[in-house]
Amino acid sequence: MTASRFSMEIEKLVKTSNGLITYVEAVVTYCQENDIELETVPKLLSKPLKERLRHEAQRFNFIKKTSKGVLPL
């Protein structure tokens, strides 16, 4: 399994669900269906997929939001 193939499969799962599952859910589901250990997932994540996961985690308040690149008003 390569990072690009893993990322393509995750993107495909999210897109075919029409927004019903999140990226986190897609990663967990894909790993369960294909007998992939969750501990190996960080090695399989591409940079764009990492960014999508980070953005999603911030949106759901799993991690703190960063103010990177935002000017104060």
1-5, 17-21, 40-44, range with greatest mean pLDDT: 40-44
pLDDT at residue number 37: 94
Distance from C-alpha of 57 to C-alpha of 9, rounded to nearest angstrom: 20
Tens of pLDDT along 22-43? 999 999 999 999 999 999 999 9
Considering the domain boundaries, does residue 65 fall inside one? no
DSSP codes joined into one string, 57-71:
HHHTTSSPPP-TT--
> What angle do the packed helices 23-33 and 47-59 form, to 10 degrees?
120
Domain with 42, as residue range(s), is 3-59
Tens of pLDDT along 33-71? 999 999 999 999 999 999 999 999 988 888 887 766 666
Asked whether the whole model's pTM tops 0.85, one would answer: no
Considering the domain boundaries, does residue 46 fall inside one? yes
Considering the domain boundaries, does residue 33 fall inside one? yes
Considering the domain boundaries, does residue 47 fall inside one? yes
